Amino acid sequence: MAIEAFAPAKINLTLHVTGRRADGYHQLDSLVMLTDVGDRLTVEKARETSLTVVGPMAAGVPTDRSNLVIRAAEMLGVSAKITLHKSLPAMAGIGGGSSDGAAAIRALCALYDLPRPDRETLSSLGADVPVCMESELVRMRGIGEDIDRLDTPPDWSMLLVNPRVSVSTPRVFDEMDERDNPLMDSPFPKWQDFDGVINWLAHQRNDMQAAAVGLQPVIGQVLAELSQTNGCALTRMSGSGATCFAVFKNASERDAALELLRHRHPDWWCVATQRVGARFA
């Protein structure tokens, strides 16, 4: 018997860096949405755990225990033959590795009829793993362990664009001028009010964006070109980069922007997306 699980891309609609703990970990305040593009993972029972990585983004993905998929099996105390179809770029600010680890947890728990670990246990696998287990719009605080479900995510038409450059999260933190920044504004808007939410989001931040652009100026080019497309209501970098997202009011303008960017930059990774919805399993 084989069990499949979807590993959706994670978008940080906001990412406020609000402090740094004594142990070096940074405190965050982030609004997170999972989308309907991502990796897919298949698990089967086996005497020993093995990982095979296939797909358009498979090159360079480790298959040893440095991959959270392997460590997820170890944490659960099970073994499996695991196949990971990799569609998301690595080191891209969209939680690919963490989402893969979360998908492995879901699939292996189903395969072996195990209860899912609590958030504290999941956090030991990786700071972003707990949020990648969620399907709703969530507020993530602390180092990722403090999660509040907010509401069903809006059905926005969105683009994800990565210029195929890698950004090291530690390096971005090192380049930041300020690490003690304000929390997100309150109260939160009504999430189904498109104009109200966009206006609220426009006053929030990704505190890692400027440092990431300094390290990889092409991120600034991506943001500029996205902002100039017809119908783009908001654009921002996700996570520590280099993936950027853009929100559109309707799918036709989103799709026209996608066609334009793919024509101009055939070497960029550009995909249309929306909230994860029913594909999350």
Which sequence positions are flagged as catalytic?
Answer: 10, 128
On whether the CB atoms of residues 37 and 160 are closer than 8 A, the answer is yes
Nearest of 124, 86, 89 to residue 103 by alpha carbon: 86
**Count of alpha carbons within 13 angstroms of residue 8, beta-carbon side:** 23
Distance CA 138, CA 146 (A): 10
On whether the CB atoms of residues 223 and 237 are closer than 8 A, the answer is yes
